[in-house]
Structure 1
């Protein structure tokens, strides 16, 4: 497939671009047959910068398919400027601001960066503290202050513990630790001793043997650790452990980090 076969998609923002990417990409998932060439342009903070972006999009539109443009610009002037482009513009903010102004009886602030920046200082600091906690308690490195954890992810190696705890921390401000299950835990068929006082906070992850073997092979090709037999043994043993201790769990093999995090938040009734 060449670049000529790809529909250009732009994510534009006067802040980080995270919201534009997230919402725009979510909409694009409804069109699985589409092939897209994605470009994110963050921090469009002046009308001049917006005009330059419009020029780029217009040049591209003149050569073929009209680019699809997702915008989360908050500034009215920048929004109006971007709206003049010859792409197919999807204004993810402006189309709803008027409704909210009417409903709330007050004008919008028009300040960019409040979703992912320092607009809510307390929430931002809470997220950063959660990230530090997740890093300290990654893969059972530290057992200090486990009582502060809101959730402890438990799983064999390479089942997605680390990315999930980091996502919970960064996106939701959840204090999440994770703890690896190893052969000696399966030999004893009991919950590892450090976790026993916190069983109500534990949530298990599993996978399927083939997928886990593929992931482990990328790290240690040809090792017993990556063998299909070992992966199958660990996953079966882990699931028995979860069931015997009443620990909720999910299979991470075909589930995104975002979906895993949402499931954990729901099943563990975590507030964020």
Structure 2
């Protein structure tokens, strides 16, 4: 087979949901600019029969592409993993690469129960579900009720990335997150929306380049004052002045992914918690 990156196909294969392996695979691919790959997801490959069916698809794809596929796998069962090795594809075996060496280091076998990372019956899973419900109930300034239970509150002008970051923090970290848009009326009053002034220690501000904001808003409401570049510039400027005066830490969401924004906020939350524990 001749190498040709324009026809590469990457398979995300898992005996569970495949969320973990897809996230890791995409993270690895992000380091190779200009490479576009067709992505195929294969979750719940938890039997040899399903694996053989998947292998047939992979082999047919490789024959059509004229180049071997890339297989990102989180498969617990070694017999099933071995079937994919026979395809001749480039196998990025997450369990073989990480779990087996760790098992040797710890001197004990790994638990081969499928889906261990989800731990559906555990308290961590329940905390995440509760965090998601809280975040959905406090999205876009829907309600002030129970705001004292929020662990983080995101503020910023409309379309600056508050909702995606809030939901990601709830889903991935189990953090109860509320978010509030800073609307023109707030800017005219030059005050934080709602009752947020009572929760300054939980607030994080998102800001964004006006040019980027203009493009995002134009997709939503073309040819409107809301989306005009001049209005975007003014809203961002006034919002930044307000947040600076209120002592709110700001994160620029212009070129940052939801994962990056969320991780930065979680890091700051952890630092604040540590400072409280040591009496700062």
- TM-score per shorter chain, which class? over 0.9
1:222 aligns with 2:220: no
> For 1:105 and 1:150, how far apart are their aligned partners in 2?
39
> For 1:193 and 1:97, how far apart are their aligned partners in 2?
49
Hey, what does 2:48 align to over in structure 1? 47
Hey, what does 1:86 align to over in structure 2? 88
Query: 1:84 and 1:117, CA in 2 relative to 1: closer, same or farther beyond 3 A?
Result: farther
Hey, what does 2:276 align to over in structure 1? none
1:141 aligns with 2:142: yes
Q: Provide the aligned C-alpha RMSD in A.
A: 1.7
Hey, what does 1:5 align to over in structure 2? 6
TM-score by length of 2: 0.91
Unaligned 5+ segments in structure 1 are none
* Alignment coverage as a number of residue pairs: 268
> For 2:222 and 2:119, how far apart are their aligned partners in 1?
42
> For 1:30 and 1:108, how far apart are their aligned partners in 2?
30
TM-score by length of 1: 0.93
1:27 aligns with 2:28: yes
Give yes or no for contact 2:5–2:36 (8 Å, CA) kept in 1.
Answer: no
Q: CA deviation at 1:216?
A: 1.3
Q: CA deviation at 1:4?
A: 9.2
> For 1:113 and 1:65, how far apart are their aligned partners in 2?
32
Hey, what does 1:100 align to over in structure 2? 102
Q: CA deviation at 1:192?
A: 2.9
> For 1:251 and 1:70, how far apart are their aligned partners in 2?
32
1:267 aligns with 2:273: no
Hey, what does 2:246 align to over in structure 1? 245
> For 1:88 and 1:22, how far apart are their aligned partners in 2?
18
Hey, what does 2:59 align to over in structure 1? 58
SS state at 1:204 partner:
strand
Q: Which runs of 4+ in 1 moved over 3 A?
A: none
Give yes or no for contact 2:153–2:178 (8 Å, CA) kept in 1.
Answer: yes
Give yes or no for contact 1:16–1:116 (8 Å, CA) kept in 2.
Answer: no
Residues 192-234 of structure 1: CA distance to partner in whole angstroms, max 9, x if unpaired? 3500110010000111111111111222221111111111111
Hey, what does 2:78 align to over in structure 1? 76
